[in-house]
Structure 1
């Protein structure tokens, strides 16, 4: 199936792409957190940024940016630490929300931390500051492309479209699931602080993992 478009082992690729999308990561965590704290509409903005970020990274992989990063270790390291630093900043911000307010009551009508943070820009930065993803797309996609096919961009586009379709379904489900979670924890500040602590710890864990590559 789709061999006429230069795609081989389609069902193996589809299974691998589905597992890739479902694996926990900073993007999915951010979309879920945005939904819990800011609502479905803001979460969908974050999800759209993830789709765009993935498309940018896939395009970079196709254009050979991954080869440039591999040929220049200093550049790869700079991008890697920029991504790790951004994740660490998000993690520390989440942990800061677990601290007591020292007698300051929130003002009525004031924006929450998540409302003050632009979800689209934040999610886009999370996506494009992950150089490991570019290298992964190169090594993963090439296994399902017929090397004899005369127009390699065609199978690359097909594989990217399948991956993005899975991502749309998953990120959209997270955007709606977060609103349900928000209603469950409403009026329970202890659960909210626990969630922020878990979120911060996960972001810091992702940052440490990227920095230690």
Structure 2
């Protein structure tokens, strides 16, 4: 088991990561605002499962294969960038809508919400990089099984991320009523979110592989 100091230090790092806006947070906010906090929490379940997948891959050393093979990493990176560009186009195209627009939006099924949350997380290769770059710094062979320590630290990261994103989803849902009363914000929402999503896509696509 990791010692208490390592657990606390890693939890603080995980908290800082969770508070940094990214594709997961953008998706959860958009779902919560457009369909309510229940949809946001269902989507969060998919995101959490994505964290579990990456944690297990990192703990058992499988993610190393993705980082060792440039084409495998790039395939995931570009797939994620294309997905974000598609979301941006949905917001900016004529007649399109921003994920933050909460007026007369079609409701997705719980299954689709969960899967979209899962794929949004799995298509973000930074999660794999984070696990491989951060976990080893907080693992000490002197504290016992490396696998157990990796699983415990990964569980801490997931717990922190889920807690933060749950608060984000619930807060975003409460903002929906405010936005409904101000429909003139719709155009601004569309362009701001389209620009943010496109920027995230470009950054993901052009980021150098480490």
Q: Same fold (TM over 0.5)?
A: yes
Structure 2 equivalent of residue 107 of structure 1? none
The count of residues paired between Structure 1 and Structure 2 equals 198
Checking the alignment, whether the CA contact within 8 Å between 1:49 and 1:124 is kept in structure 2 is: yes
Where do 5+ consecutive residues of structure 2 fail to align? Answer: 97-103
Checking the alignment, whether the CA contact within 8 Å between 1:40 and 1:175 is kept in structure 2 is: yes
2:7 pairs with 1:10: yes
Checking the alignment, whether the CA contact within 8 Å between 2:56 and 2:151 is kept in structure 1 is: no
1:182 to 176, 190, 202: 176
Structure 1 equivalent of residue 160 of structure 2? 166
Structure 1 equivalent of residue 125 of structure 2? 131
Q: Aligned-pair RMSD on alpha carbons?
A: 2.0
Q: Which has the larger radius of gyration?
A: 1
Runs ≥4 in structure 1, deviation > 4 angstroms?
none
CA distance in 2, matches of 1:33, 1:164: 21
| Distance of aligned partners of 1:193 and 1:120 in 2 relative to their CA distance in 1, 3 Å threshold | farther
| TM-score, length-scaled by structure 2 | 0.86
| TM-score, length-scaled by structure 1 | 0.85
| Distance of aligned partners of 1:131 and 1:179 in 2 relative to their CA distance in 1, 3 Å threshold | closer
Deviation string for 1:114-160 (max 9, x for gaps)?
A: x2473211111110112222122111011001133442221112111
Deviation string for 1:17-44 (max 9, x for gaps)?
A: 1101111111011111111110011111
Where do 5+ consecutive residues of structure 1 fail to align? Answer: 102-110
